[in-house]
Amino acid sequence: MKCPQCSGILLTLEFDRIEIDYCPGCRGVWLDAGELGILLERDGKEALLLSAPGSVRRKEKKRACPICSRGMEKVLMTGSDVLLDECPSHGLWFDGGELSKILEAECGDRGEEDRTGGLARLLDEIFTPGKEERT
């Protein structure tokens, strides 16, 4: 699949029943429909976390869904400033660092260290350039 941001080739990684498509060029992440709900342990309820498609107006060009190539809608994560691109039929696009930010906030809200927090750390360690130099 092609990255909707930089047109690079997405790499596929598997984590706990989920295939995460990652762009090494811009560090973006694609999740197929329903996978965010699995990550947040709310199977199928990720729609509750997003504003209605089309309710966020931006003048930037719509990004193409990496599966169907249609323009994706902008959606806002409830209770945050994270603006995502969504193809209602196929999934969500997260710019570099956005998925980790959402997962860390979700884990913190529940006050527990679980697999969601583990994935946030994994994404941070693998996908943050120069991370090994800071530790």
Cα–Cα distance for residue pair 19/28, rounded to 1 Å: 14
Model confidence pLDDT, tens digit, residues 7-65 = 999 999 887 778 889 999 999 999 999 888 777 764 344 545 665 554 566 677 899 99
| Alpha helix ranges (H) inside the chain | 35-39, 98-110, 115-127, 131-134
Q: How far, in Å, are 28, 40, 74, 100 from residue 92 at the CA level?
A: 11, 14, 10, 14
User: What pTM did the predictor assign?
Assistant: 0.76
Nearest partner of 29 among 110, 85, 111, judged by Cα: 85
Q: How many residues does the chain have?
A: 135
Between 115-127 and 98-110, two packed helices, what is the crossing angle to 10 degrees?
150
121 or 115, which is more confident? 121
Cα–Cα distance for residue pair 130/134, rounded to 1 Å: 7
Both tokens assigned to 99 = 């998925």
